[in-house]
Structure 1
Amino acid sequence: MSSTEDLQFYFMHFMPYSDYPEDHEKYPSTWVDFPNTLFDPAKGKSFYDRYLRELVLADKLGFDGMVVNEHHSSAYSLMPAPSLIAAALIPQTSRAKICVFGTPLNLEYPHRVAEEYAMLDVMSGGRLEAALPLGTGMEYWVNPINPATARKRFRESIDILLQAWTQPGPTEFHGDFYSYRYLNTWPQPMQKPHPKLYLVGTGSPETIDLAAELGFGYSSVFVPTAKQNQAFADLRKKSKEHGHEFTRDKAVIMAMCYVAETEEKAVAEFEEHIMFFFKHGARTTPRYLMPPGYVTTTELRKRLTAPNLHGDMTWETLTDNFRVIASTPEKVAEAIAQWSEEAQSSRIIFNGHLGDMPHWKTVKNLTLFAEEVIPRLRKKAPDLAARIEYQQAAE
């Protein structure tokens, strides 16, 4: 870590629809078949207005980026089209990166995503960053794409995206899933050769291999910290094998944090909302989570035999196994410093709003994190640099 600027902090918002009916637990999943008759447009507008204000506040408070993402047919997120949210943020913000983490390319026409992302990059003056996910298993129940061919389709989509951005058009592309006689996307991104790109996954070796091959960054989400750290170690090793330099900005970690005056107050104000997030917002069934063909047989065996941390979720389970903390600014900064060092990461995604957290708590959390936690971490940066450089040399 060469300077304090190496550490960057992104505020991610899931933008959930958290106004569930009292009997919502009778539905096994809040994805795929959670009835859309439960959606109230007036309440939806209120959520959109509020969540956009919270994202804009992050820019004003000095966060380095704002993260939005995509999900379908779920109360978990009100962002089936994150590019629209990103576009709404651009004229209301001035400095933070606009991070679309992101649209599953294989669920779209990749040339259209190339054009949409180029629009966002130009409109924002070169502030776009994008992460490319395969998409959760749930997405394949509500989109007409075969999960058994999803990974091959995903790879082909990435090739199209990169060709559209890096080769002067018009060009041609003829693959197994897409055929373009004229691949000639307008506009083109402001950043050259293209905006910073990441892959997002849950630790599948195939995704890590692909990120290393392409020289992309990688973010592992909603898996235990130890597994994430192993994924980053694999990325470092395989990036070198593919001739790409690993830099700390390629390892992106997510931290679910709440900051308050005391640890007791932080836990009291945060616990119910993160439990709502995991137990209700993320509630789904094994059938929806892993449709046939979505993962390899080897990976399926690993997941089926792994401990079911989500099934018996407690506060202790969360804090023991995930990057979760509710405490004072000092202790939150110490935890993030440790997580950053372990993962050799300089990109921290701060999940400052979770579940049914009210607006006042989100504002408090954002403000205290920006004004009390980030400055402490910036001061720790030189010390972290020495330890991380030692670790890299040892590898």
Structure 2
Amino acid sequence: MGIQDGQHSLRFSLWIDGRTTQGLPVTATTYRELIEEVTFAEQLGFDGVWDTEHHGFADGYLPAPFTFLAYLAARTQKMRLGTNIVLLPLWPIRLLAEEAAVLDVLSGGRFTLGVGLGYVQHEFAAFGVDRKQRKERIEKGMQYLRAAFKGETLPDGHEGAGLPVTPRPMYGERFPIYMGGSSEVALDRIARLADGFLAAVNSNPGEELAKQWAILRPRLEQYGRTTDSFPIVASTHLWISDDPERDWTTMLAPALAYQADVYARMGTDAGQPRPTPTDPRKFPRQGLLIGTPDSVIKQIQELQKSVPLTEICFWSHVPGIPHDAVMAHLERVARYIFPAFKNVPATT
């Protein structure tokens, strides 16, 4: 089954949060397995890898996204690298610009900076940032980044003296900055300021993405942006299997329930009722890109009919899924899914 008339080639990439196990500390083995998965994915023809950022999670959620990607830059040759997402309001903005620029140069221009607001109460406390100021900080931060990557001198030296931000990214002001978010306000900000949309659609990707696109599209038109070529990355779950019921019961439901519970706990403010743990047997599966190759291909094709999707970025190693199962799944995706959406021959 090849690319059908009216369809566009679709990119496939990995989404990594630095964890492989449930509730256990990160070790050298954790990162070794993740690096092995990414380098294997490049051999299979995957287009990119995105990592993400959180702080103070007991199970080792990745706190240093640029360090991780810098190592990957040295271990890969073609894959694009990106943050999905880095928490812009927590960063000293000059440091963020410099980290992004150095990583882009190191990787030969393969880096995309993806940013978002953040929401976890303890993270803003840990970095001494007023959470109420996060929207203002991301607006001003985007202005700073654009000026820095154009090569402008920024007035943040001693007593307002001008200082350059060096190095400049490989392609200067054309360096891509994507943004995440799902609220109407966030989608308006994306339409105004971003070069692409990182859509986190973990529950029911078809329904969620369609709703977000219905808001984003008229906003893009309002700001004079193109709607047919604006990059849209669906960040979600994807798993194909010859026996999806078996995999769901034995691996996927427990892993996804754990992941959801950690997000829920960490996203609950102090003094608020703690969320009830999720029963994996009751975890909602409807709409997820989980099934046989043919069924998932059909789901993705339906997505493409309603949204001009550019890329699918999926959680490649949800905590609790064994490393060997992840490696085998990457090979299945390349073998069975790529030929339907990419202008490349099936992987043998």
CA–CA separation in structure 1 for the residues paired with 2:330 and 2:212: 29
Matches within 5 A, 1:167-178: 168-172=151-155
1:339 aligns with one of 297, 303, 310: 303
C-alpha root-mean-square deviation of aligned residues, in Å?
3.1
Report what 2:232 is aligned to.
251
Aligned match of 1:375: 339
- Aligned partners of 1:189 and 1:112: how far apart in 2? 14
User: Are 2:185 and 1:206 equivalent residues in the alignment?
Assistant: yes
Q: How many angstroms does 1:140 deviate by?
A: 2.0
In structure 1, the partner of 2:147 is 163
Deviation of 1:188 (Å):
0.3
Distance 2:339 2:152 in 1: 45
Larger deviation, residues 263-272 vs 132-141: 263-272
Cα distance in structure 1, aligned partners of 2:148 and 2:82: 20
Give the direction of change, closer, same or farther, for the CA distance of 1:82–1:363 in structure 2 (3 Å limit). Answer: same
Equivalent-residue separation in structure 2 for 1:10 and 1:187 (angstroms): 27
Change (3 A) 1:172 1:349: same
Q: 1:108 to 1:5 in 2, by over 3 A?
A: same
**Cα distance in 2 between the residues matched to 1:47 and 1:200:** 27
Secondary structure of the corresponding residue to residue 288 of structure 1? coil
Q: 1:86 aligns with which of 50, 63, 69?
A: 69
2:31 is equivalent to residue 48 of structure 1: yes
* Residue correspondence of structure 1 range 313-392 to structure 2 within 5 A: 318-320=284-286, 324-378=288-342
Q: Does 1:265 align with 2:265?
A: no
The 1:108–1:228 alpha-carbon spacing in structure 2 relative to 1, beyond 3 Å, is: same
Going from structure 1 to structure 2, the CA distance change for 1:54 and 1:289 (only over 3 Å counts) comes to farther
1:271 Cα offset (Å): 2.6
CA apart distance, 1:251: 1.9
Deviations 1:161-200 (A, max 9, x none): 111011x3324369xxxx9532411100002423222111
Residue 113 in structure 1 maps to residue 84 in structure 2: no
Q: Contact conserved, 2:20 with 2:318, CA < 8 A, in 1?
A: no
- Paired with 2:79 and 2:101, the residues of 1 have a C-alpha distance of 17
Tell me the equivalent position of 1:103: 86
Change in CA separation of 1:360 and 1:92 when aligned onto 2, cut-off 3 Å: same
Aligned counterpart, 2:44: 61
Q: Is the 8 A contact 2:240 2:291 kept in 1?
A: yes
CA deviation digits over 1:79-124, x for unaligned, max 9? 2110000100011101110112232222111111111111111111
One-letter amino acid of the counterpart of residue 183, structure 2? S
Aligned partner of 1:18 in structure 2 is 21
Match of 2:105 in 1: 122
CA contact (8 A) 2:9 2:341 kept: no
Structure 2 match to 1:33? none
Give 2:346's aligned residue: none
- Percent identity, aligned pairs only, is 20
Partner of 1:278: 260
Distance 1:106 1:346, change over 3 A: same
Q: Deviations over 1:280-301 (max 9, x none)?
A: x32416642999xxxxxxxxxx
> Structure 2 vs 1, CA of residues 345 and 159 (structure 1 numbering), >3 Å: closer, same or farther?
same
What is the count of residue pairs matched by the alignment? 336
Aligned: 1:188 with 2:168: yes
Kindly provide the amino acid, as one letter, of the partner of residue 133 in structure 1: G
Alignment equivalent of 2:131, drawn from 147, 152, 157: 147
Q: TM-score, normalised by structure 2?
A: 0.86
Aligned mates of 1:68, 1:290 — CA distance in 2: 31
CA distance in 2, matches of 1:63, 1:351: 13
Q: Residues 334, 347 of structure 1: CA spacing in aligned structure 2 closer, same or farther, 3 A cutoff? A: same
Corresponding residue of 1:299: none
Q: Relative to 1, partners in 2 of residues 1:289 and 1:132: Cα closer, same or farther, differing over 3 Å?
A: farther
Tell me by how many angstroms 1:64 deviates: 0.6
Q: Helix, strand or coil for the counterpart of 2:161?
A: strand
8 Å Cα contact 1:70/1:102 also seen in 2: yes
Unaligned stretches of 5+ in structure 2?
A: 344-348
2:155 match: secondary structure: strand
CA–CA distance in structure 1, aligned partners of residues 84 and 267 of structure 2: 24
Q: Which has the higher helix share?
A: 1
Q: Give the secondary structure class of the aligned counterpart of 1:16.
A: coil
Secondary structure at the counterpart of residue 71 of structure 1: coil
How far apart, in 1, do the equivalents of 2:142 and 2:270 lie?
24
Match of 1:231 in 2: 212
**Could you tell me which residue of structure 2 aligns to residue 294 of structure 1?**
none
